[in-house]
Structure 1
Amino acid sequence: MEKHDLADMFKGWFIGNFEPSLYKTNDVEVGVKSYTAGEYEAAHHHKIATEFTVIISGEVEMSGVQYGPGAIIKIEPNTSTDFRALTDTTTVVVKVPGASNDKYVDTL
C-alpha cells in the first residue's frame, strides 16, 4: 500500500499521461479538481475523448446551465462547454480515452 497527496499531482490529475501520475496511461484520465468562486475556463471541446464531470460540492455553470452537488455531466466528443465556478467547488473528472493533446479552445 502506498500513500500519495493530491496536492502533489498535476492540477489534480492523478491517473493519466501526466507527471507525476499514480498510473501512467493514455486509456483514461482521472482528476479531483478544486476551484474558487469565480474561476473560469473558456469554452473548449475534445475531438476524441468523452468527459464526465461530477460536481462533488459547490455550484457551477457550464454552457449557461447551473449544476450542483451530485450532478454528473457527460460531454461527448465535439461538444463545446465553458466552466464557471459560482461558489468554491470540487469536481471529479474522468476523460475516456486519455487522449493527450485533445483539448481545443474554441475561437469566435
Structure 2
Amino acid sequence: MKKQQLANMLGGWFIGDFEPSLLPSSDFEVAVKYYDAGDFEASHVHKIAKEFTVIVEGEVKMNNQIYKSGDIVQIEPGEFTDFEALTKTITVVVKTPSVKNDKYLL
C-alpha cells in the first residue's frame, strides 16, 4: 500500500489526465473539494466533459438552485453553471472524459 495526501494534489483533483495524478487517465477525473461558506466559482461550461458533483456535506447554490448533503448534480456538456458554497461544504466531483482546457468562463 502507498499513502498519499489530498493536500499534495492540485485543487483536490487526484485522478485524471494531469499532474500530479494517482491514476493518469483520459477517461475520467475525480476530485474531493473543500469550500468555506462564501466561496464562489464563476459561471463556466465544459464543451466536452460531463460532470457529476456529489454534495457530501453542506449546502451550495448552483444556477440559483439550492443543493444539500446527499444531492448529486449532473451537468451536461454545453450547460453553464456557477457555484457558491452557502455553508462549509465538501464535494466529490467526477468528470468524464478528462480533457485538458475544457473549462470556459461565461
TM-score range (shorter-chain normalised) is over 0.9
1:58 paired with 2:58, answer yes
TM-score by length of 1: 0.96
In structure 1, the gaps of 5 or more residues are: none
Report matched runs for 1:67-106 at 5 Å: 67-106=67-106
Preserved contact between residue 26 and residue 100 of structure 1 (Cα < 8 Å): no
Matched with 1:7 is 7
Structure 2 residues not aligned, in runs of 5+: none
Aligned residues: 106
Confirm or deny: 8 A CA contact 1:55 1:92 kept in the other structure: yes
Conserved in 2, the CA contact under 8 Å of 1:29 and 1:97? yes
Identical aligned pairs, as a percentage? 58
The code of the aligned residue for 1:95 comes to K
Q: Can you list the C-alpha shifts for 1:22-64, whole angstroms capped at 9, x where unaligned?
A: 0111111100000110000000010100000000001000000
